[in-house]
Structure 1
Amino acid sequence: MTGVATKPELPAVVVAGGDLPSVLLPYQQRLLSLMATEQLVVCEKSRRIGMTWGIGSDAVLTAGAQRAAGGMDVLYIGFNLDMAQEFIDVCAMWAKAFMPAASAVEEFIFKDQTEEGADKDINAFRIRFASGFDIVALTSKPRSLRGRQGFVIFDEAAFHDELDEMLKAAVALLMLGGKVLVISTHDGAENAFNRLIADVRSGKRKGVVLRVTFDDAVNDGWYEQMALSRGWPNTPEAKAEKIADIMAFYGDDADEELHCIPKMGSGAYISAAAVEACMTDAHHVARLSCPSGFELRPAEERRTFVQTFLDNEVVPHLTRLDDDRLTAMGEDFGRTSDLTILAIGQEQRDLSVVVPLMIELKNMPIEQQYQVIESVITGLARFLGAKFDATGNGLGLAERCQERFGHDRIEAVKLSQGYYLEHGPRVKKHFEDQTISLANDVDVRDDMRAVKLVRGIPTIPNERNKGRHGDAFVALMLLLAALKTEYQVATYERVPRGGRPDDDGKTVETTAGFGSREGLW
């Protein structure tokens, strides 16, 4: 191999042949794949699963590549000497495997400045590559990254002082084509690292979050690789014993240290004060509860009953939507024990969201639920799309709406912990930033308050309150996700029968199709 590598060489280099396992485990490969496509990646991880070891390979390939192939300098920022030494040793190992022409590790003085502008020296380690780029590992954080370019890695970021300020400096590098990786275990729910994760997941900050728990690592072959490299017995019994020992070692801290669950994550996910601050009497909740045995009544009677509700409680409030803005819908399905709730809203020019109408349907047959949904959607001037709760019996209604309005507009969503983890923070962020307005309604407020943070994931407990189960939260979460649907504006220019004014005067005889005297045959 030559002294200069290119990024596409990675799979051929790091994946072993024969029956040996991949040098990089799947979760390490996922991180490297994200770094290849994203400028800002935030990785919340378990301890001691080899993520730093994995990212060292990407650091070497990045610094070893020519600029045209994506090469750039790499700056590693830990918070002590041991971390810097460990990372540079890992990089030296990868460099020896990938490009023997790289220099040996050397110590040098990294020039920084204090807040007063005085010079400050930081001990650092460096590997030079034939590409002209370096990997630099600092033994403590610099005050400024001014003048630096390239790939910046913040390791164990939750334990850095002034992480917010460091991120501001690092993000400036993105404007010059650089990359930033923020990787850490958690250190409390109020930590700047956890706030960064919430900002990225909610869409406030552009980037992507990768979550790798100890369970994820074990499922991806962590134990088997450790057994191979360290001589551990590779049997199911030995594996179970080792995992149990690790869990016991961390004890009460296992959730935070191994399962990516920051401490202090308990109680209501969204405060009552935050919800109430976003409520207004200008918006409306339309409710219809069908009497017992309603599904046995004649079809026409059922349709008339529901249509009266639509005419009196729904249509007047749809007219308050802005016809110049796109409208979306979120639906949480229920039939008997739970409510069906429709949240109809629009995103404003300032990216705030208004939800002028929510519709609650209780004990309503699916046919009449479809009647309500069809009436609402066909009455919208500019319908963007909707996301429907397709968990359980909700799938049938979602599929029927897809047939009527198109699969590109109606998405059937299987609600899961992963979905709540990805989209729940957006709901919370809107309330905390007061960038959403909805009806002043005690039941809707209680639905928002029903959500708890369980093992780091917004979760609706099984308990019901007044027959409700956080239904409005789900509908709102799906609405906000639907409003972020990408779309293509369709336009057309009508050509008059006489042609455009700038036509060259040539005539075209119409012999078939629209405008002809006779049919095509």
Structure 2
Amino acid sequence: MSAPFSKEEWAEIRRQSTEVLPDLLDQVGLPKALLPYQGRTIAKLESSTCQVLFIEKSRRIGLTWGFASYAVLRAGRAKAAGGMDVMYISYSQDMTREFIDACGMWARAFSTAAIQMDEFLFDDSDDEGVRAIQAFRIRFASGFEIVGLSSAPRSLRGKQGVVMIDEAAFVDSLKELLKAALAFLMWGGQVVVCSTHNGAENEFNVQIQDILSGRSAYDHMHIDFDEALIDGLYQRIALVTGKTWSPEAEADWRENIIKFYGDGADEELFCVPTMGSGAWLTGPLIEARMTSNAPVLYLDLPPNFLHLPELERLVLLAPFMEQLEAALKLLDPALMHALGFDFARVADLSVASLLSIDKTLKRSSALTVEMRGVPGDEQKTIIKMILQAAPRLVGAAFDATGMGWTVAEDMGRIFGLRDKDNQGGLVHAIKFSQEWYRINMPPLKTAFEDDAIAISKDDNHLSDLRLVKVIRGIPMIPDSRTGETNKRRHGDFAVALALAHFASRMQWHEYGYIPVPRAPTKFDSGSSGRDDGAPYRLSGMRRSRGIY
């Protein structure tokens, strides 16, 4: 871990730093809009010698908000004062919209004459034809504008000005994007590349290492979590949220944030890229999909549970079972559902992820159940309850590795077990392999990228999804674990979600046809025939299976 200070040590450091000028906090009054590191960044950009600036930074420090102020100042100036267009690029449309909104706020604060923000489409011809790329922009009375563009290198064609590439380590092709952006320098433009890290082999880190080694002459800044805190990040957060700042409160908050990121704290907070290709899903992308309000239920039983009298065991289970029954009653009967279950008994968690599927095929968390120290029979009872209550169930995928096979087998007895040729009932028994991950993890990532999935807000789930790494080109769960002692996690929710998403795509349906009494004919014994023209209907049962 790159955070060498304990909670107590950090509190003492902050106390000493504020005691240098004991009356400062009382004298400041309304704070300056920009924190010192945000101000230093803008000062660097305003320098006439700064053409290309690379910034490696921590998450959650508000640097993009500072960039928005610079964008407004630059685009709002007349050409003679150095004004020019500003183009903002990120990997996410949501991030781009937020940036444009922040620019609108700064424009009002600076009283800069700006036409209302609008959204537009422009044609982008390439070898595949003509496509339309959505963008956002604010136009200023100076004649210049701030434009939010896609991360495709071709979106920069025919443009000139300042290019800002935010979270650059996560765009599809940073190398090609930089080629297009650096062409702006020929006519006095400027390029800003800012990001948290995404692995040691990522192009962003390659560029940083070239700068640090002297191979590249670009400007460079480094702003990690502790540097931002020393510059007053938490004091600003306390001010905005109405809390009272103190060294102890800041130390507690700092420790909680580091725990929140778990093993990803080095990369996400302290600018230390992980070995390999980094996290499979980015923190910002995961958080952007945490839009579901579905319940997350927890059952944590003591180690001696099986040694307790039956009545005591029932008493321990009763509160959870009541919560589960209440949650199952809230499931929408109009939606289809699919279940994924990652089994564990001793060291790790068992996690059940139930997804709903709406008419637009968007998957959303409908219920998540996490179990620690729960015996196998109790787990089977809980899973059976979920499967029986889930409306329009189209599939259930179970981790059938080791002891997980017994749960998959028992559920298969009730709901039907799929065979190796994908024939049979609802239950898929999955033996995890590199091939399974290679084929089935990319669709889950696409769902996150395309806003085709929504999950519940849970910090443990964020850590679990961040734990997935690309190992030899395949997204997998490495051996490392996150969380506190005796509460360790091994990407358990990520596995359950992957199983549920897999099951939701391997849909199984059974259609029943109610037979209509057949009209007698002249061939029937004792029949005089029928000539009223009434149609005959086929009757019977058929099963339809489909994958999409």
Which bracket does the TM-score occupy, shorter chain normalised? 0.3 to 0.5
TM-score (norm: length of structure 1): 0.46
